Structure 1
């Protein structure tokens, strides 16, 4: 059994703070500086990025409160050997599409005993420093292991960079001489058989609408059997109708609807989501793609050919690699982006491994 870095204790305490801060029931947390500062960070994040509504940010914080528990952290690390004796500096280049999208990378760096040099996205530069401040309040030694850089990155031994297919080419060029994980665009899909219950359909609706569909774990397309009746699914969507009240979401919905109408593309429209038959994977904001399948065997073969493009498959247990409905935005600690084991990578990293 591998032993994580002692930072797991501060991470577990951060989890407790987040659970108290986001609690829906029970007594409100005692007012104190940490809760005031978190409240300010939530509001600043909303002002900085209108997609980061209070609802979405609190969901992200609630999720991290759930997984950052001492038992969970130790169990996660029990599958790995011990950390390398010599720590390294790992540059983390974060995406900014959903709140705290790169926090798992930071947690992994700390748990493996390394130092993090973080370059946040301009659209998500508030929440990670807020998490750092709480961690440092519990373990002052972490102040020297989490640094933020707004300019050019230098003085690092390895890189974890998350971006688009376009930015990944630049990342490969600039960071190819260092040990690295470079992530590209991926999408997630949902699989329906027509036998789903209300709870499963509502879970899928959460997977679709959470973070306005902007995450790589957001379901952007569903596969349905030929002749599928969408009524039950549309009923499950209804509790997300408030999304259309968000001006940026509404603008995207209206724009895409106009484009589809002008092109004569058939679509289903419930007033806040467009459902369009399409062979693509990545649907625009306010739109959900769907495709029909003729048999489960044909579907499995089709999905196997998309393995390099998919982040998650949400659906029934008999689909290889599928996770339950409603689980796409609640990943476990060992649910690694792009199925690349971040901890194993970090445990292989030591200082001064760059190629001359």
Structure 2
């Protein structure tokens, strides 16, 4: 079950294809691949959150990761056993952000196993197109990739991603097979009050990219007592055009009305609502915040609830923290929920 050289080559070619495509899109090059451009448009028609900008961002991130060197360095951390028979791994994919299930898809194929994927109805266009690209470069992958519309059957293991509610269903349905079941997670930022405008502007990317729909999006910030929010709002001003997206604007109008009618105290800049709230999960267009007295005490609290947190963002560059602006730029060895997917697959 060693990684197949031809499969690696196919993914490297895909990476170059995506990088070239995004470069040409951003430069308005008339030679841009019209087939993929049409797929990007179709993805947006199927799901209003999948704007061209956000889909291109996702494709660009994967283009940068799928290089010979990155893949070699990543796989070099694992021991592959050649005598193992390939297993069929069911993947139940989420559809909150473009290609959110691609990392699982990549892991299964590079671990030498077969993909049996159930796509989210919100993201049914992009991955089949990229799969066809891979199969054209490496025809043997045709027997290793299958998409299903109904329920998953005839699989040896499963990776399922969903909400806390669907997670309970997954545990009931898939519990007898080797599995990774992912539930709701959120990302948080720890601010000290000493951040400069550049850092706070980068934090805006962690909040607003994909409209905050990803588990790696910051939905909650922790600030010291007497924190001045003016600098934060000033840094976020460059993201003001987000309110022009009608789905986001509808959420903003609704949440603002609910908070005002409930007489909650909020801070509002016309496109983002800040509300003091202990919850980690803020609705679209809102960002929750909590005050803290002592950062070391706060860090202990975050450790106690780490099973609910995907990323902690800060300027301190502490161990396992993510730098401002980098939450939606994970590396190949950044695994969702902190569970090493590749290690799981290699032990099947």
Q: Distance in 1 between matches of 2:81 and 2:204?
A: 40
Q: Distance in 2 between matches of 1:17 and 1:100?
A: 16
Report the alpha carbon displacement of residue 319 of structure 1 after superposing the two structures with TM.
Answer: 4.2
Q: Distance in 1 between matches of 2:30 and 2:156?
A: 41
2:17 maps to 17
Alignment of 1:143-292 (within 5 A): 143-292=142-291
Report the alpha carbon displacement of residue 183 of structure 1 after superposing the two structures with TM.
Answer: 0.3
Q: Distance in 2 between matches of 1:21 and 1:57?
A: 12
Q: Distance in 2 between matches of 1:27 and 1:98?
A: 24
Which deviates more, 257-266 or 19-28?
19-28
1:48 maps to 46
Q: Is this contact kept in 2: 1:159–1:180, CA < 8 A?
A: yes
Specify the SS of the correspondent of 2:38. helix
2:114 maps to 115
Specify the SS of the correspondent of 1:308. helix
Task: Return 5+ residue gaps in structure 1 as ranges.
Answer: 350-356
1:43–1:280 distance in 2 versus 1, CA, 3 Å: same
Q: Distance in 1 between matches of 2:258 and 2:81?
A: 53
Q: Distance in 2 between matches of 1:146 and 1:137?
A: 13
Task: Return 5+ residue gaps in structure 2 as ranges.
Answer: none
1:82 maps to 80
Q: Distance in 1 between matches of 2:221 and 2:167?
A: 27
1:303 maps to 302
Residue 337, structure 1, aligned to residue 333, structure 2: no
1:103 maps to 102
Specify the SS of the correspondent of 1:75. helix
1:354 maps to none
Q: Distance in 2 between matches of 1:256 and 1:269?
A: 11
Specify the SS of the correspondent of 2:271. coil
Q: Distance in 2 between matches of 1:277 and 1:39?
A: 42
Specify the SS of the correspondent of 1:91. strand
Q: Distance in 2 between matches of 1:276 and 1:251?
A: 18
Which deviates more, 22-31 or 178-187?
22-31
Which deviates more, 117-126 or 138-147?
138-147
Report the alpha carbon displacement of residue 127 of structure 1 after superposing the two structures with TM.
Answer: 0.6
Specify the SS of the correspondent of 2:333. coil
Residue 69, structure 1, aligned to residue 67, structure 2: yes
Report the alpha carbon displacement of residue 320 of structure 1 after superposing the two structures with TM.
Answer: 4.3
Q: Distance in 2 between matches of 1:264 and 1:92?
A: 44
Specify the SS of the correspondent of 1:22. helix
Specify the SS of the correspondent of 1:23. helix
Q: Distance in 2 between matches of 1:294 and 1:253?
A: 30
Q: Distance in 2 between matches of 1:140 and 1:280?
A: 48
Q: How many aligned residue pairs are there?
A: 345
2:347 maps to 348
Report the alpha carbon displacement of residue 55 of structure 1 after superposing the two structures with TM.
Answer: 0.7
1:68–1:262 distance in 2 versus 1, CA, 3 Å: same
CA distances 1:288-307 after superposition (whole Å, capped 9, x unpaired)? 00111101112111111111
TM-score by length of 1: 0.94
Which deviates more, 179-188 or 298-307?
298-307
Report the alpha carbon displacement of residue 137 of structure 1 after superposing the two structures with TM.
Answer: 1.8
Q: Is this contact kept in 2: 1:19–1:66, CA < 8 A?
A: yes
Identify which of 34, 56, 59 aligns with 1:58.
56
Q: Distance in 2 between matches of 1:139 and 1:107?
A: 14
Q: Distance in 2 between matches of 1:12 and 1:29?
A: 24
Q: Distance in 2 between matches of 1:319 and 1:302?
A: 16
CA distances 1:57-77 after superposition (whole Å, capped 9, x unpaired)? 001000000101011001000
